[in-house]
Chains A and B, each alone.
Chain A
Amino acid sequence: MDLLWQTAVNATYAASYMALIAVGLVMIFGVMGVINFAHGELYMVGAYCVVFLYAQETFPFLLAVAAGLVFVGFVGIFMERTMFRPLRDNPLGGLIASIGFLLILQTLAVFGFGRRMGHVPPSTQGKMEIFGAILTYQRLFVIVAAVLLLAALWAFLKRSKFGRALRACAQDAEAASLQGISMNQTARVAMFIGAALAGVAGALTAPLVNPTPYIGHSIIVTAFIIIIVGGVGSLEGAVIAAVIYAFVHTFVTTFFDGVIANIVGLALMLAVLVTRPTGLFGAKERA
């Protein structure tokens, strides 16, 4: 029973950072129609912001996380301006360019920090007990931050005027620009938010995963599974699918092993693709 609880707590932690990453990927896809293959590398860059600012330069952890969020957001804006905007009517081109960009980010990380794992000391040693399961404050912090950030994003999208413009662009870019919504402006903001979410996920989890320059690979696979299961283009679906996937993956990892868990996750995605290509929660029909 204890093991079950502990696994559930671990899965909640996994779900929270996976949701941040997947929601960012969906934001980018929704507004720009581009699958950002470099999303895992944005996570990696966020993690290395913490490695550099917190572990090496000993700034406070929170400051390093905030810096990671902003910096990766600007990397996203850079990607939008240099690659995705010129390739707006060429989705495959955008995908290929993002593959090129991920190679560049990986190499830069190797140059800056070497190939080996960056070690990040925990920012706090505290932990709490929930029904016999242990939750370290470091992990609790990730869960709280994810909930707060996603709530803030939800409020921004549903309540603010700019959020409505953003959703309009995601639904129909042409009609939106006919209403005077600037496509470039919206794309820039969406890219900032999407990238910053991946970056902050990397920054928050850096002390827990000890990043390498190649960590993005497993992240992007996870993110793809989640957005397919949740329905490409659905933010709520991405959050729910992140929870489902995190629980399935964590439980299979605990009771079988990690490779089997990956196979199960991919099979889940394939099954969803075959039976319900719009995802479990994507109501929108896509051609």
Chain B
Amino acid sequence: MSTAGPAGSIRRAVWRLRWVFLFAILAALPYMLSYSQQEIAVLLVINVLLVCSYRLLTLTGEWSLGHVVIMGVGAYASALLAKQFGIPVPLSMLLGGCMAAAIAALLSFPLFRMKGFYFLIGSFAAGEIIRLIWKRFTDPFGGPKGLKRIDPFPDIETGFLSIDFYEPVNYYFLSLVVVSVSLFILYRIERSRIGLTFHAIHWQDRLAESVGVDTFRYRTLAFVIASFFAGIAGGLYAHYVGAVNPTRFSVDQMVYVLVWAVVGGTTTFHGPILGVVVLTVINEIVLRALGLDTARPLIYGAILILSVLYLPHGLESLGPRLRTRWQLWRSGSAAGGRELA
């Protein structure tokens, strides 16, 4: 592709500054939204972290149905640490992530004896057991009603700066920072030698084993890292909403994560982000505006089926596909033009 001429150099400058533009848009975004839309934006940012951490797990080729429960482990742990032991909230969130990672490390012993479909079902069973324990044991976990009045993120009060995190706008920026840092770490991990090993295990696990890769350890590692970030997402959620309960982390919610990942596509880093952003916008803004509240699961289901049938590689494949078509069309019309001349 030729990039000569002023148009080409502008395009290159834009490309170089793409992060600046992206963050400028993200920073301006909450000021263009209504209050309730700001609240949705906070949850969207948290869900971006959830689905991106899920993708790290799928890199090794395993699809879990317990990821939302792991997020819940982070949420419950962080909430309980803050409530019962008075640990300051930012630290408790971090510890919540560690708790989620620890539970994942524990679960990996039974779970990674399985593969594929069995892992899917096994992770579902393990997650349900954790969820039912929250439901059954009222003493620390609050039973079916869950935990309420979770300590909010502490306000920042210095001489010239005061930030109240009860405001969705401020919490949006807080989550944006936490999620951006997390995504950067996830991205670096994927590009590191470890990440390449994950890919190798996905495509050729026997071959990887034969050259000395301990697939069990790498699968566990992917699971633990993914769970840590899911736990962080859970902590962000718990201290924003202020309440958690077992239903919030049920398999229905997991279905949504699965849908975002599948509709977006999991081959590229941005695929799941695309999925969660596009579907949330459709779900919360378009469908809500149309007043189709009860029909929302139906439309979600239809989108899911249609995208599996007609867009099996996800939204992420749409851009490259359209580009090739456009180039074909252009070269075709150029050739046609020459013939006419």
Contacts and interface: CB of A to CB of B under 8 A. Distances in A.
B63 interface: yes
B135 A259 contact: yes
A225 B124 CA distance: 11
A110 interface: yes
Interface stretch (B2-10, B48-56, B147-155, B301-309): B301-309
Interface in A149-191: none
A103 B135 contact: no
B309 A86 contact: yes
A32 to B, nearest CB: 13
A110 B129 contact: no
A265 to B, nearest CB: 9
A96 B309 contact: no
A270 B125 contact: yes
Contact of B124 (A92, A224, A263): A224
B258 A107 contact: no
Dominant SS among interface residues on chain A: helix
Nearest to A105: B301
B124 A273 contact: no
A97 B304 contact: yes
Contacts of A277: 113-114, 118
Interface in B285-325: 294-298, 300-305, 308-309, 312
B262 interface: yes
A100 interface: yes
B72 interface: no
B125 A266 contact: yes
B298 A108 contact: yes
A99 interface: yes
B132 interface: yes
A260 B136 contact: yes
Nearest to A271: B110
Given A83-B305, A97-B309, A224-B124, A262 B132 contact: yes
Contact of A107 (B259, B298, B312): B298
A87 B304 CA distance: 13
B326 interface: no
A90 B117 contact: no
A110 B122 contact: no
Interface in B129-159: 129, 132-133, 135-136
A257 B138 CA distance: 14
B294 A111 contact: yes
A221 interface: yes
Contact of A273 (B122, B135, B302): B122
B305 A266 contact: no
A96 B262 contact: yes
Given A107-B295, A267-B129, A228 B308 contact: no
Contacts of A93: 308, 312
Given A97-B309, A217-B251, 16 more contacts: A83-B308, A93-B308, A93-B312, A100-B301, A100-B304, A102-B301, A107-B296, A221-B128, A224-B124, A224-B125, A257-B136, A262-B132, A263-B129, A269-B121, A270-B110, A270-B129
A259 B118 contact: no
29 contacts: A35-B117, A86-B309, A90-B308, A96-B259, A96-B262, A96-B308, A97-B309, A99-B255, A99-B259, A100-B300, A100-B304, A100-B305, A100-B308, A104-B298, A110-B294, A217-B251, A221-B128, A224-B124, A232-B117, A257-B136, A266-B128, A266-B129, A267-B129, A269-B121, A270-B122, A273-B110, A273-B114, A274-B113, A274-B114
Contacts of A263: 129, 132-133, 136
A35 B119 CA distance: 13
Interface residues of A, number: 39
Nearest to B295: A107
Contacts of A103: 255, 297-298, 300-301, 304
A101 interface: yes
Contacts of B110: 270, 273-274
A273 B121 contact: yes
A250 interface: no
Nearest to A273: B122
Interface string A33-58: 00100000000000000000000000
Contact of B126 (A225, A262, A270): A270
A29 to B, nearest CB: 9
B142 to A, nearest CB: 14
B304 A269 contact: no
Given A86-B309, A263-B133, A277-B114, A101 B301 contact: yes
Contacts of B133: 263
B304 A96 contact: yes
Contacts of B297: 103-104, 106-107
B121 A228 contact: yes
B119 to A, nearest CB: 9
